[in-house]
Amino acid sequence: MPRMRRKSDLPTKTCAACGLPFTWRKKWERDWDNVRYCSDRCRSGKGGAKKDQA
């Protein structure tokens, strides 16, 4: 019998933009292998420590 996967047992990755760890989300279930950023802001390159004022 397979082990139950608890909520606290979800996979995690480190964001390539801000460097913070983030946890698997339902919306990434089909694309988890390709997920590199914790948020849309990081993915668009506008996130991070510095706030970009355009």
**Could you list the residues that contact Zn ion (CB under 5 A)?**
15, 17-18, 38, 42
CB of 36 to Zn ion, least distance (A): 9
CA dist 15 and 21 (Å) reads 6
Q: From the CB of 15, what's the least distance to Zn ion, in Å?
A: 3
Nearer to Zn ion, 44 or 54 (CB): 44
Return d(Cα 24, Cα 14) in angstroms, integer. 11
Nearer Cβ to Zn ion (6/51): 51
Report the distance separating Cα 43 and Cα 1, nearest Å.
38
